[in-house]
Amino acid sequence: MKTLNELNFDTLGEIIRIGTDCAVQDLSKVIGESVPSSVHSVNLVKVKDASVATLRFNAEKFGVVTQKFTGVLNAEVILVFSEEAVLQIVQNIMGVEMDRDAVHEVESEAMCELGNIMIHACSSSMADALHISIESSLPCYTIQSCDDIVTTIQNHENQDFILVSHIDLVIKHRPIEAKLLFLMKRTTP
């Protein structure tokens, strides 16, 4: 079993790409249609350097699912979709067109479930690749501004860096951008 210190960024980035692909496959199952996707990059950002620019946020408001992991992989994983993307995703999960008010009634539960499925697929892929076991918290869903997300990340004094997986999706012919943020701490041998 390798620790995070023993892995180079390229290896960890490839593990994240594989995990992200698994997460998107699970998204396809949840909404009942094929979701073309690509992970167009995985970047490493120091927590202290987190900003709207370094995290490449392109919207003002986001649906944010957060889940914490303990064990060898001591991390917090944050799944981020723009607010508009959340509307599209929830409509696809529910299988009907809905107005914003109707979406807001089911949004938290639907996004927590989706986040749990996607984050679990990605983290399980990482755990399998690294031959480690991890425990997770229940997912939490909030709507946040890009500045709120950055502030939350910068306040994570117990995490050293963020692996940012930038994902491009297409749902019902509409392009959607998502991000999986892995806030992690370098472990000591």
DSSP string, 23-53: HHHHHHHHHTS---EEEEEEEEEEGGG--TT
Reported pTM? 0.85
Say which amino acid occupies 106: V
CA-to-CA dists, residue 175 to 29, 146, 178, angstroms: 18, 19, 10
116 has a pLDDT exceeding 70: yes
- Does the residue 189 lie in any domain? no
**pLDDT of 45-60, one tens digit each?**
999 999 999 999 988 8
Give how far Cα 84 sits from Cα of 10, 62, 111, 112, 151, Å. Answer: 32, 8, 13, 17, 22
Under the banding of pLDDT at 50, 70 and 90, the label for residue 77 is very high
pLDDT of res. 79:
94
Q: Tell me if 29 is assigned to some domain.
A: yes
Model pLDDT, residue 187: 52
Q: What is the biggest distance separating any 2 CA atoms in the chain, rounded to whole angstroms?
A: 52
* Number of structural domains found in the chain: 1
- In a domain? residue 163: yes
Q: Is residue 110 a part of any domain in this protein? A: yes
Q: Residue 90 falls within a domain, yes or no?
A: yes
Residue 99: CATH number of its domain:
3.40.1550.10
The proportion of the chain whose per-residue pLDDT surpasses 90, expressed as a percent, equals 22
Q: Which domain holds residue 24?
A: 4-184
Mean residue pLDDT of the chain comes to 83
pLDDT band (50, 70, 90) for residue 189: very low
Please report whether residue 111 resides in a domain. yes
- pLDDT tens digits, one per residue of 123-164: 888 888 888 888 889 999 999 999 999 999 998 877 888 888
pLDDT in tens, 92-112: 777 777 777 777 778 888 889
Residue 106 forms part of a structural domain: yes
107, amino acid identity: E
- The closest of 152, 147, 164 to 55, measured between CA atoms, is 164
In a domain, 42, yes or no: yes
